[in-house]
């Protein structure tokens, strides 16, 4: 019990410490705008008012957020599944993975946003394009880190399993998959960042998409609605932070760090 | 180059050639709609014909990439070092950095367009912002990871500030700095192309493919993507690879274990 209280106290302290810089920035920002030092910069209070207006009076902000989340989750899960499957299949034979690595690096070098025109051409101007962009953003990074991870698996372990007569499938599940997590989990973390950015970019460019935080920012441009643009940025920042620091860090902590595969960092 | 390297290059090229071959055949026999997917035998001659214009697009993008990356590198290393030295600076900046770091550059574009207008100022500013965060984050981590006993030892022996920096902090945090440079450059590249989509006025690879898309000139879209892949692949395999070789391996952090 006591331990728990201590833990909660520490967490709370860390949270406060985390928030203080934001409070300072917001206060300074408000003052700067109040005295009109920078033109066309909306005050934090104005952004907050916009938030209240869009959220509670017009009730459209939740639509934007749900629209984005839905595409992110769908595209990212697709990327995880296909990335791990493709990465594993390629890694079955060393020569094939050696052959395909350069091609994969070429694909990774392409900014995800550059795929968007191609997707608009082939999949249309709507949701499918955005989901596909989210998918592509994550897919190559996950495939690559799966391959990298499988390559790093200890050869002695593989030989030991072979000698004890392990079948291919059970070898994959109990040796290759856990062994590759050292590289796969950071890969997943990197990939969700790529997917997140691809999501926002694709929403801005896909004309038929109605809801989405990226869309919100983009359409605000036509009304010169700077408050809504900043509100969009704030939502994207908080969303990205939650995804990266809470979700992905948590997964790292309970998997590779707990198993002592990497030191905490 | 030894034989092993040559054979691995040949091995690597085979799948790429096969990829283009299948693309061509599929488009030729109607499995892929050639109106949408174009085909390599149309794309490459098209690129060849557009060559002078292409060079302009290419240089516009490379110029923006280099300018924003090096400005970000300078500011990032300076602030990152400060964050590593002084805990209070780290504590006050780190939350802001980890939060703003996740915001995609393209999302900032509408605001900067409003402030700076279309063109280079907007693109380069956003390039600096996105490249800055991974660099500053990793430099700060690197300096913080330096063994405090080493610093004390250097202090006891009367090391001056400059020497402390050059002989203790820099070599011991270099692997982090290189990671920061790698991530920063990659993000800078991706973001600059993305922002060129909506903020460039005349040249740039991103501008080129978005413009081609709007005029339904699909073979240029595919050609542009091929050029982007080759360009950044080359940068990574030459500049970044050299940097890794000369710093991490030279200053021995990797080398010692081998």
| The two structure tokens encoding residue A8 | 């909660």
> In angstroms, rounded to a whole number, what is the distance separating the alpha carbons of residues A141 and B141?
23
DSSP type of residue A212: -
Q: Which two tokens stand for residue B26?
A: 């599929």
- A100 vs B contacts (CB less than 8 Å): 15
Is B28 a member of any domain?
Answer: no
Nearest-CA neighbor of A221 among B107, B188, B7, B98?
Answer: B107
Rounded CA separation B236/B188 (Å): 13
Predicted confidence (pLDDT) per residue in A87-96, tens digit: 988 887 888 8
Task: Work out the pLDDT band at A254, boundaries 50, 70, 90.
Answer: confident
Would residue B141 count as lying in a domain? yes
Q: Rounded mean pLDDT of B146-153?
A: 80
Give the percent of chain B with pLDDT over 70: 95
* Chain A neighbors of B218, CB-CB under 8 A: 121
Average pLDDT over residues B83-112: 89
Q: Which residues of A touch B213 (CB under 8 A)?
A: 117, 120-121
Say whether B107 and A243 touch across the interface (CB within 8 A): no
pLDDT higher than threshold 80 for residue B255: no
Q: What would the two tokens of residue A224 be?
A: 């010169």
In this complex, the residue of B110, B206, B210 whose CB is nearest that of residue A220 is B110
pLDDT the model gives residue B208 = 94
Q: How far apart are CA A115 and CA A99, in angstroms?
A: 24
Which pLDDT score is estimated for B256? 36
- Residue B257 scores a pLDDT above 60: no
Assigned token pair, B131:
């490249």
Asked if the structure places residue B142 within a domain, the reply is yes
Confidence of residue B258 (pLDDT cuts 50, 70, 90): very low
Residue A94, chain B, CB below 8 Å: the answer is no
* Residue A237 CB contacts under 8 Å (≥ 6 apart), including other chains: B99, B100, B102, B103
pLDDT at B18 over 50: yes
pLDDT 10s digits, A9-32:
888 888 888 888 899 999 988 888
- Phi, psi (rounded to 5 degrees) for B33: -70, 115
| pLDDT value for B253 | 53
Of residues B148 and A13, the one with the higher pLDDT is: A13
With beta carbons less than 8 A apart as the criterion, state whether A90 and A100 touch: yes
Is residue B87 domain-resident? yes
Helix A112-123 to helix B218-235 angle (10° resolution) is: 160
Spatial distance between the Cα atoms of A150 and B196, rounded to a whole number of angstroms: 37
- Contacting A residues, span 54-83, partner chain B, CB-CB under 8 Å: none
Structural domains of chain B, count: 1
> What are the structure tokens assigned to B241, written together?
């690879």
Residue B172 has a pLDDT of 79
Say which of A201, A226, A245 has its CB closest to residue B106.
Answer: A201
Give pLDDT, residue A258: 63
- Name the band, by pLDDT with cuts 50, 70 and 90, for residue B252: low
Which chain A residues are Cβ-neighbours of B225 within 8 angstroms? 110, 114-115, 118
Tell whether the model's pLDDT for residue B24 goes beyond 60: yes
Q: Which residue of A has its CA nearest to B176?
A: A265
Q: Is 70 exceeded by the pLDDT of residue B157?
A: yes
Any domain includes B23: no
Is there a domain that residue B244 lies in? yes
By the 8 A CB rule, do B105 and B130 touch? yes
**Domain A42-257, CATH number (from 1.10.3720.10, 2.10.70.10, 1.20.59.10, 3.30.1490.190):** 1.10.3720.10
Tell me what pLDDT residue B75 has: 96
A239: which 2 tokens?
Answer: 């969303």
Alpha helices in chain A (DSSP H): 2-34, 44-52, 61-91, 94-109, 112-123, 127-152, 155-163, 168-171, 177-205, 213-220, 226-241, 249-252
| Number of neighbours of residue B123 by Cβ within 10 angstroms | 34
- Identify the CA nearest to B189 among candidates A192, A112, A118: A112
Comparing A76-80, B29-33, B48-52, the range with the smallest average pLDDT is: B29-33
Place B206 in a pLDDT band, splitting at 50, 70 and 90.
very high
Query: What band does A257 get if pLDDT is binned at 50, 70 and 90?
Result: low
CA distance A225 to B68: 28
Distance from CA of A56 to the nearest CA of B (A): 24
In the structure encoding, which two tokens stand for residue A74, read together?
């769908």
Tens-digit pLDDT profile for residues B158-198: 777 777 777 777 777 888 889 899 999 999 999 999 999 98
How confident is the model at residue A260, as a pLDDT?
58
DSSP assigned state of B106: H
What letter would DSSP give residue A209?
A: -
Q: Between A24 and B258, where is the model more confident?
A: A24
Going by pLDDT thresholds of 50, 70 and 90, the confidence category of residue A2 is: low
Say whether pLDDT at A264 is over 60.
Answer: no
What are the residues whose beta carbons fall under 8 Å from the beta carbon of B156, sequence distance 6 or more? none
Residue scoring higher pLDDT (A58 or A70): A70
- In the structure, what pLDDT confidence band is assigned to residue A3 with cuts at 50, 70 and 90? low
Residue of B nearest to A201 (CA): B106
Count of beta carbons in the 10 Å neighbourhood of residue B26: 15
User: Which of the four pLDDT bands, split at 50, 70 and 90, describes residue A1?
Assistant: low
Over 50: is that where the pLDDT of B240 sits?
yes
Asked if A124 is an interface residue toward chain B (Cβ–Cβ < 8 A), one would say no
Which residues of chain B have a CB within 8 Å of the CB of A140?
none
Q: Quote the tokens at residue B114.
A: 């409003």
Instruction: Give pLDDT, residue B209.
Output: 92
Tell me if the pTM is above 0.80.
yes
pLDDT of residue A92: 79
Q: Give the closest residue to A198 by CA, choosing from B218, B220, B190, B237.
A: B190
From residue B148, how far is each of A263, B151, B176 by CA, in Å?
Answer: 18, 5, 17
- The domain spanning residue B95 has which CATH number? 1.10.3720.10
Answer yes or no: is pLDDT of A6 > 90.
no
Q: Which of B91, B60, B80 is nearest to B179 (CA)?
A: B80
Chain B residues in contact with A102 (beta carbon < 8 A): 9, 12-13, 15-16
- CB < 8 Å & 24+ apart, contacts of B237-241: B237/A105, B240/B181, B240/B182, B240/B185
pLDDT in tens, A158-216: 888 888 887 777 877 778 877 788 888 888 988 998 999 999 999 999 888 888 999 99
Domain of B189 in residue numbering reads as 67-257
Of the partner residues A20, A95, A114, the one whose CB lies closest to the CB of residue B228: A114
Whether residue B19 lies inside any domain: the answer is no
pLDDT-wise least confident of A233-247, B213-227, B236-250: B236-250
Average pLDDT in chain B? 87
8 Å CB contact of B218 and A121: yes
Q: What Rg value do the Cα atoms of chain B yield, rounded?
A: 23
Cα torsion A127, A133, A134, A135 to 10°: value is 110
By Cβ distance, the residue of B106, B114, B193 closest to A200 is B106
Whole-angstrom Cα distance, residue B144 to residue B242? 25
User: Cβ separation of A109 and B115 shorter than 8 Å?
Assistant: no
Rounded (5°) CA angle A130-A215-A188 = 45
């Amino acid at each position: 019990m006591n331990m728990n209280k201590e833990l909660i106290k520490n967490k709370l302290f860390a949270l406060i410490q985390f928030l203080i810089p934001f409070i300072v920035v917001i206060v300074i920002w408000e003052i700067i705008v109040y005295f009109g030092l920078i033109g066309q910069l909306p005050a934090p209070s104005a952004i907050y008012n916009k938030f209240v207006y869009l959220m509670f009076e017009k009730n459209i902000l939740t639509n934007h957020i749900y629209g984005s989340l839905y595409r992110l989750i769908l595209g990212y899960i697709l990327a995880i599944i296909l990335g791990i499957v493709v990465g594993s299949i390629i890694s079955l034979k060393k020569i094939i993975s050696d052959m395909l690595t350069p091609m994969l690096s070429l694909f990774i070098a392409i900014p995800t946003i550059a795929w968007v025109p191609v997707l608009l051409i082939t999949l249309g101007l709507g949701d499918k394009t955005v989901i596909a962009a989210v998918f592509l953003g994550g897919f190559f990074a996950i495939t690559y880190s799966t391959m990298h991870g499988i390559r790093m698996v200890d050869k002695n372990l593989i030989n030991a399993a072979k000698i004890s007569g392990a079948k291919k499938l059970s070898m994959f599940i109990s040796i290759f998959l856990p062994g590759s997590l050292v590289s796969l989990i950071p890969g997943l973390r990197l990939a969700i960042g790529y997917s997140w950015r691809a999501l926002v970019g694709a929403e801005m460019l896909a004309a038929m998409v109605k809801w989405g935080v990226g869309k919100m920012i983009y359409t605000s441009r036509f009304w010169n609605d700077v408050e809504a643009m900043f509100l969009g940025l704030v939502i994207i920042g908080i969303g990205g932070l939650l995804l990266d620091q809470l979700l992905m860090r948590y997964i790292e902590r309970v998997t590779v760090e707990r198993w002592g595969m990497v030191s905490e960092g | 180059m030894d034989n092993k390297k040559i054979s691995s290059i040949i091995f690597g090229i085979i799948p790429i050639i096969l990829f283009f071959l299948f693309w061509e055949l599929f488009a030729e026999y109607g499995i892929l709609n050639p109106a949408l997917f174009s085909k390599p035998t149309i794309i490459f001659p098209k690129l060849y014909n557009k060559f002078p214009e292409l060079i302009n697009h290419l240089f516009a993008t490379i110029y923006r990439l280099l300018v924003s990356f090096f400005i970000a590198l300078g500011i990032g290393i300076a602030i990152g070092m400060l964050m590593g030295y002084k805990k209070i600076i780290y504590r006050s900046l780190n939350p802001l950095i980890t939060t703003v770091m996740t915001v995609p550059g393209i999302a900032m574009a509408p605001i900067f367009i409003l402030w700076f207008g279309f063109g280079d100022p907007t693109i380069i500013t956003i390039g600096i912002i996105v490249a800055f965060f991974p660099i500053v984050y990793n430099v700060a981590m690197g300096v913080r990871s330096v063994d405090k006993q080493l610093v004390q030892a250097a202090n006891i022996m009367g090391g001056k500030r400059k020497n402390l920096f050059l002989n203790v902090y820099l070599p011991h945090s270099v692997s982090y700095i290189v990671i920061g440079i790698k991530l920063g450059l990659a993000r800078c590249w991706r973001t600059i192309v993305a922002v060129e989509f909506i903020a460039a006025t005349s040249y740039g690879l991103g501008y080129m493919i978005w413009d081609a898309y709007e005029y339904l000139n699909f073979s240029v879209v595919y050609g542009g993507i091929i050029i982007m892949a080759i360009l950044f692949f080359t940068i990574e395999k030459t500049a970044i690879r050299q940097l890794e070789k000369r710093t991490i391996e030279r200053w021995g952090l990797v080398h010692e274990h081998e």
